[in-house]
């Protein structure tokens, strides 16, 4: 067992600061890195606009030079805006050392009004992984800091079976549990949106009077830092949203993975250049060339339904939805494939599909709408009759532009998706790019706008995702 370092005095927080809420909430995982003050403010404003309750602030090395300035900006803007934040200790990335290293963050901010209070009214603290830490390390942390502790310990033996041994060893240290790896199918699997692992852990938590926080994500795609992986993202998000709403017992919290983790491909928020400037992930993930913010209105509909204790989506005020698709075909061959590594197909690519993936939420008169799709200038997938509330699915695509249209009973396109990158049989990025284009519904008919594509092969100075759209109008 690792010996514990001397820990700071027990954190005392005035009971007037936190009140037990016993209410559902939805968070987004937020990687703390270099962030300009105005960009931190924009992140918080955007998160509030889409209905999020808080950011889970992922901190790897709490002593890194960028951490304190980033936290100061985030907490200052959260405090003034009425938004909430909480600490997620990235124990896997930390690489060991006493958990008291995180203490200054709790000491500095947990007593303020911007820290999210857990179900018992104490400041919520989470983790990514248990890494190699032992129960004694966690106990020392709990003895020093009076928090509501909801860690991701899903790398520990017996976690996903809710074994008696797991609960005997870890159970007394936690107030709730958070599962990360169950957010996606395993590599090569296609059980999109499956929550069976979460159900087992949730039932174990409920049996021990603990809460549960469930993960929600679009996909996992990463081709950087020695990892090249794809875990199914075709229908993972919509099916999992529907399954989460239907769970009984229900999780108390949902954590969307993630707000700004560009290298992983499952970002839904802003990718600021000061945080996302490394060469490899820049090839496929950037705000200009591969923004995922178009998924936010759909997530807002989920948040509203989840927070209001619904077991399925409420009808929307107006049509809301998005499509997502990768920009190469399964048959595409990239020119530097023989170099392997970064240039090879991701592990799990064989289960990818050439599809327009879609999800919509329609108003109470949803049956008066039809949902239509266009690929390469032609209708695909047939005409789908709308219904009130939530629908999702996939239709086959070919090259060039991809669109979804919401058409009313008079045959008028009220909403459609806007400009996105073309699907191509060529490998313009020089890698097997499985990071999707995400296009949200916009009012009006945009199906004649076309699509954008690279005009040259990727290179050190010009690649598809980083450079973004090329078109004369400068739209």
pLDDT tens for each residue of 71-93? 999 999 999 999 999 999 999 99
Does residue 10 form part of some domain?
no
Interval 272-301 mean pLDDT: 92
Residue 155 belongs to some domain of the structure = yes
Range in 164-173, 277-286, 393-402 the model is least confident about:
277-286
In a domain, 315, yes or no: no
For residues 347 and 287, the answer to whether their CB atoms sit within 8 Å is no
Residue 3 is assigned to a structural domain of this protein: no
Range of the domain at 417: 320-467
Whole-angstrom Cα distance, residue 420 to residue 439? 7
Do residues 214 and 152 make contact, with C-beta atoms less than 8 angstroms apart? no
Q: What is the mean pLDDT of residues 376-380?
A: 94
Residue 276: band (very low, low, confident or very high) from pLDDT cuts 50, 70, 90: confident
* Banded pLDDT at 466 (limits 50, 70, 90): low
Q: What is the rounded CA–CA span in Å between residue 404 and residue 420?
A: 12
Q: Quick one: 244 and 213 in the same domain?
A: yes
pLDDT of res. 11:
37
DSSP letter for each residue of 172-224: GG-SEEE-SGGGSPPTT---TT--HHHHHHHHHHHHTT-EEEEEEES-EEEEE
Q: Considering the chain, what percentage of its residues have pLDDT values greater than 90?
A: 86
Residue 103 has pLDDT above 50, yes or no: yes
The answer to whether residues 375 and 300 belong to one domain is: no
Residue 125 lies in a domain: yes
255 and 352 fall within a common domain = no
Does the structure show a pLDDT above 80 at 7? no
| Whether residue 348 is found in the same domain as residue 393 | yes
Residue 472 inside a domain? The answer is no
Q: Which strand (E) or helix (H) includes residue 466?
A: helix 464-467
- The answer to whether residues 21 and 119 touch, using CB atoms and an 8 Å cutoff, is yes
pLDDT at 196: 98
Q: Are residues 268 and 350 in the same domain?
A: no
Judge if 453 and 324 occupy the same domain.
yes
What mean pLDDT value characterizes the chain?
91
Residue 14 domain flag:
no
CATH code for the domain of 57: 3.20.20.80
- Tens-place pLDDT, residues 290-345: 999 999 999 999 999 999 999 999 999 999 999 999 999 999 999 999 999 999 99
421 and 399 housed in the same domain: yes
Final residue belonging to a domain, choices 251, 281, 307 = 307
314 located within any domain: no
Report field, pTM of the whole predicted structure over 0.75: yes
Q: Which residues of 52-80 are buried (b: 16+ CB within 10 A; e: fewer)?
A: bbbbbbbbbebeeeebeebbebbbbbbbe
Same domain as 303, residue 422: no
pLDDT in tens, 411-462: 999 999 999 999 999 999 999 999 999 999 999 999 888 899 876 554 444 4
Cα–Cα distance, 387 to 403 (Å, whole number)? 20
Last residue of a domain, one of 283, 307, 331: 307
Overall domain count for the chain: 2
Looking at the structure, tell me whether residues 267 and 126 fall in a common domain. Answer: yes
Pair (333, 284) in one structural domain? no
The whole-angstrom separation of Cα 221 and Cα 231 is 6
Same domain, 118 and 201: yes
pLDDT at 277: 80
Residues 324, 302, single domain; the answer is no
Last residue of a domain, one of 245, 280, 307: 307
């Amino acid at each position: 067992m690792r010996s514990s370092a001397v820990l700071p005095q027990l954190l005392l927080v005035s009971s007037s600061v936190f009140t037990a809420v016993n209410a559902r909430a939805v968070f987004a995982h937020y990687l703390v890195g270099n962030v300009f003050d105005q960009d931190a403010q924009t992140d918080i404003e955007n998160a509030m606009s889409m209905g999020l309750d808080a950011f889970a602030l992922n901190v790897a090395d709490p002593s890194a030079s960028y951490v304190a300035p980033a936290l100061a900006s985030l907490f200052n803007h959260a405090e003034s805006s009425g938004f909430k934040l909480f600490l997620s200790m990235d124990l896997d990335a930390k690489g060991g050392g006493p958990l008291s290293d995180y203490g200054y963050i709790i000491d500095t901010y947990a007593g303020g009004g911007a820290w999210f209070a857990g179900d018992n009214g104490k400041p919520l603290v989470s983790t990514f992984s248990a890494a190699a830490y032992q129960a004694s390390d966690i106990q020392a942390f709990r003895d020093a800091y009076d928090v509501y502790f909801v860690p991701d310990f899903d790398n520990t033996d017996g976690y996903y079976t809710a074994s008696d041994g797991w609960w005997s060893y870890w159970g007394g240290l936690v107030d709730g549990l958070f599962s990360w790896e169950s957010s996606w199918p395993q590599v090569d699997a296609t059980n999109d949106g499956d929550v069976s692992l979460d159900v087992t852990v949730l039932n174990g938590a409920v049996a021990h009077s603990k809460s549960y926080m469930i993960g929600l994500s679009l996909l996992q795609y990463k081709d950087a830092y020695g990892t090249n992986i794809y875990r199914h993202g075709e229908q993972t998000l919509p099916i999992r949203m529907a399954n989460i709403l239907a769970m009984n017992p229900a999780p108390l919290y949902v954590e969307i993975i993630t707000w700004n983790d560009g290298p992983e491909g499952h970002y839904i928020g802003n990718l600021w250049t000061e945080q996302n400037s490394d060469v490899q992930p820049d090839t496929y993930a950037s705000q200009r060339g591969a923004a995922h913010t178009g998924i936010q209105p759909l997530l807002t509909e989920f948040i509203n339904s989840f927070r209001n204790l619904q077991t399925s989506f409420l009808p929307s005020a107006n049509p809301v939805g998005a499509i997502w698709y990768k920009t190469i075909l399964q048959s595409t061959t990239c020119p530097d494939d023989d170099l392997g590594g970064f240039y090879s197909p991701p592990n799990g690519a064989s289960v990818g599909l050439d599809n327009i993936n879609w999800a919509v939420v329609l108003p109470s008169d949803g049956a008066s709408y039809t949902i239509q799709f266009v690929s390469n200038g032609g209708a695909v997938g047939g005409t789908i009759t709308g219904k009130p509330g939530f629908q999702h699915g996939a239709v086959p695509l070919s090259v060039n532009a991809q669109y979804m249209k919401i058409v009313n009973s008079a045959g008028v396109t009220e909403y459609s998706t806007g400009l996105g990158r073309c699907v191509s049989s060529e490998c313009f990025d020089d890698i097997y790019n499985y990071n999707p284009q995400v296009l949200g519904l916009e009012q009006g008919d945009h199906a004649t706008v076309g699509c954008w594509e690279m005009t040259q092969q990727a290179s050190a100075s010009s690649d598809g995702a980083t450079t973004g759209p090329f078109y004369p109008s400068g739209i």
